[in-house]
Chain A
């Protein structure tokens, strides 16, 4: 495992005269940066730098939690914010660490790549004079074919072999360095894949209520929140539309979800028209976009009939509050209510809004604030009616899910009553207008994304794994054979044939080398010999030699 540190110095000695200070400094810094030690330190820094990302709330993951943190720690939060603690993985210091690490990585693998290519093209070196000094050494009867037979036996075992007269050198396990280089190179490819995704990718989230009127088309404006990579503009988004036709959910008796399925109709210039199903874990794959099912809920359908007898319908989604029973909260706003049909005149103080809590399974008795089960076993809508100027015309962006509280506080919107409505029930307000709870539509929460780096990521992760295994489990080692004539004076059992002297050298930490060596030598020696007797004699010989 000392591949790097015993790499021969490849940097030419600096010229003696007029050493350029700056150049020397640069060269030294570069050498420092690309050393294993620096890589190690940077790896550590990377691990440590990631910790705050799990401890503190992160904007990219849970912006609400970051806001909460600001409220809870008004003194600390701004300071933490200044150093990027709420966006650790995009912060300057985190990026600096991994960019340095990857620079170090490139600086480290480039010379190794060059060396390795050279090694791959060179022949195994000549046998050392004194083989007895190698970690493994033995003397055995040589196979009848001499050096050629030895070489053939080694080749069959996929050693790289070089024959020089009576000597055979062989090497194996180049896979280790190949794998290592492949592994480190694919780390760079992974980083490039991530970068591609963030530059050329885009994503958006939105709620989609069932029904043809609520169909959604993939444009920038249709997203509540959308993130486009720096190299993407709105015109690049693929054009398709989605309509939610059906949503099916099954739950256990405890209320825990068990199964979801959304059925949509897809069409648009960039997509063939068709019906498609998707679910959690199996997103809808479109050309250049994927649609993920993240959540679901109910959109109460509320009809308001104003004093002129005009009806309007709201089916805005009510957002789930996070409990098992899918208790949901929302707003049905009718800014165009009470417009006089004769004059077309708006009465700005006659706009209507209803805030409400929707309970798919309401309890038997009050309080009606918490649903007991996620499906509609006993649906009830608890409404609060407001009349006045909703503030929607003022040009101040308001939420479609919440009543503008500034208008309430300013007295411009007044509460005019509260009522619990069952499905189909009508509530007559003080001014004779009516509101009806017609039923509900399902809605789904979708995340729609495109990540052009994902193929590159996947492929480079695969290569990374293969390389890693080669690197970890490959073992570089050399063996040398020298065929010598048997000493006729010694009267050995194999007199008449020649002997071979064998040495073995593991180039990496490899405790099992002795065993492999023993087996290899026995096999080579017995390569072209028949009979068990000869075989056992071989083994005895090995044992003696290995001592």
Chain B
């Protein structure tokens, strides 16, 4: 069962890769099409925004190719979505088999933890996509994040199955860890529209250098920004609850609710940064892209907590299983 789980993870990574390629192809083909179809509107948009008007790229004068490649782009995008769903199913199966093999929730060490967090992220993405299909083009970034995180988990954090140490054997384990996992998953997913927004926003303001050009086919900046906020606003109270639950548990297990252990410190840092994001977004004098950068910073602090703390520091939370 444990070996099956490991294999499923590998398969899931491969299928995420396929999904990423699907989305990338859609991007590439889409660019061919947009060159013809949207060059004019894009220029209008830029003009309206008051930015610098760049010389529009020369249109490719062959309408039949255009139509066919548009159809193909869509197909590639749908393949990307389908593959993401398949990969998510494999990912879930990997978690379930791991949990069955260990005879407990699969959150006993950092490897399992990251695996669950990333699954929550992809599941949230599929739910959002179901409701708002116009977001499909974000799939490229999402699958990229998934491939990187899951592969890093497998390569760096992997540990064989062991039962829980007594300190983890508590119902607070389920309460604290499930909420942390859930909130972290949503935060991780939240960085996708955040980065999408930053690129798209730059694009809409007339920036035509490298990362911004990727945003040509993304949905509008306002919608991306709203989604970013919605995800963070949703995850933040859950994360807050999880941290409080952790403190209650720490009081029972270690005799103090808060001890500035490295993991606690980084959870605090993430919490403060995300609180900063919500503040910044609520302050009209702070620009939306500045606020969104704070959300990205929050994502980096989450990564630090997911990977960095277990690798660089030791503390009471060092049940990551790495030596």
Contacts and interface: CB of A to CB of B under 8 A. Distances in A.
Contacts of B252: 281-283
Contact of B240 (A55, A281, A447, A465): A465
Given A51-B269, A257-B165, A36 B282 contact: yes
B276 A256 contact: no
A281 B275 contact: no
Contacts of B165: 256-257
A258 B262 contact: no
Contacts of B251: 451, 454
A252 interface: yes
B279 A40 contact: yes
B86 interface: no
Contact of A281 (B170, B247, B258, B276): B170
A382 to B, nearest CB: 27
B311 interface: no
B244 A465 contact: yes
Interface string A36-57: 1101100110110011011100
Nearest to A203: B255
Given A254-B162, A465-B240, A449 B256 contact: yes
Contact of B266 (A4, A44, A54, A257): A54
Interface in A468-483: 468-469, 472-473
A5 B262 contact: no
A128 B278 CA distance: 32
Contacts of B279: 36, 39-40, 43
B70 interface: no
Contact of B163 (A40, A58, A252, A282): A252
Nearest to B275: A43
Interface stretch (B37-45, B180-188, B283-291): B283-291
Contact of B255 (A39, A51, A290): A290
B169 interface: yes
A258 B165 CA distance: 6
B226 A511 contact: yes
Nearest to B168: A281
Given A457-B257, A465-B240, A280 B282 contact: no
A258 B236 contact: no
A473 B233 CA distance: 8
A264 B278 CA distance: 49
Interface string A182-202: 000000000000100000000
B244 A461 contact: yes
A47 B273 CA distance: 7
B255 A447 contact: yes
Contacts of A256: 162-163, 165
B268 A50 contact: yes
B67 interface: no
Given A5-B285, A51-B269, A292-B254, A281 B169 contact: yes
A3 B258 CA distance: 33
Given A281-B167, A458-B248, A53 B281 contact: no
A63 interface: no
A37 B283 contact: yes
B172 interface: yes
A183 to B, nearest CB: 10
A36 B237 contact: no
A89 B260 contact: yes
Contacts of A282: 170, 252
A457 B258 CA distance: 11
B322 to A, nearest CB: 15
A61 B260 CA distance: 8
A465 B285 contact: no
Nearest to A260: B166
Given A54-B309, A465-B240, A280 B265 contact: no
A473 B247 CA distance: 25
Interface string B273-317: 101101111111110000000000000010000000100010100
Nearest to A249: B166
Contact of B261 (A61, A203, A260, A464): A61
A53 B265 contact: yes
A43 to B, nearest CB: 4
A51 B251 CA distance: 23
B134 to A, nearest CB: 14
Contacts of A347: none
B241 interface: yes
Contacts of B249: 281
B237 A469 contact: yes
Nearest to A205: B255
A37 B282 contact: no
A294 interface: yes
Nearest to A5: B284
B272 interface: yes
A37 B253 contact: no
A2 interface: yes
A279 interface: yes
B237 A468 contact: yes
A369 to B, nearest CB: 20
Given A37-B283, A454-B251, A281 B166 contact: yes
B262 A54 contact: yes
A1 interface: yes
B59 interface: no
Nearest to A58: B260
Contacts of B163: 252, 256, 258
Given A46-B272, A47-B272, A473-B233, 4 more contacts: A2-B282, A40-B276, A61-B315, A258-B163
28 contacts: A1-B281, A1-B282, A2-B284, A4-B283, A5-B284, A36-B282, A36-B283, A36-B285, A39-B279, A40-B283, A43-B272, A44-B272, A50-B269, A50-B272, A203-B255, A256-B165, A257-B166, A280-B167, A280-B169, A281-B166, A281-B170, A282-B252, A292-B255, A294-B254, A465-B240, A472-B233, A473-B233, A509-B229
Q: Which 6 A-B pairs have the closest CB atoms?
A: A292-B255, A54-B265, A54-B262, A1-B282, A281-B170, A36-B283
Interface of B: 162-163, 165-167, 169-170, 172, 226, 229, 233, 236-237, 240-241, 244, 247-249, 251-262, 265-266, 268-269, 272-273, 275-276, 278-286, 301, 309, 313, 315
Interface of A: 1-5, 36-37, 39-40, 43-44, 46-47, 50-51, 53-55, 58, 60-61, 88-89, 194, 203, 252, 254, 256-260, 279-283, 290, 292, 294, 447, 449, 451, 454, 457-458, 461, 464-465, 468-469, 472-473, 509, 511
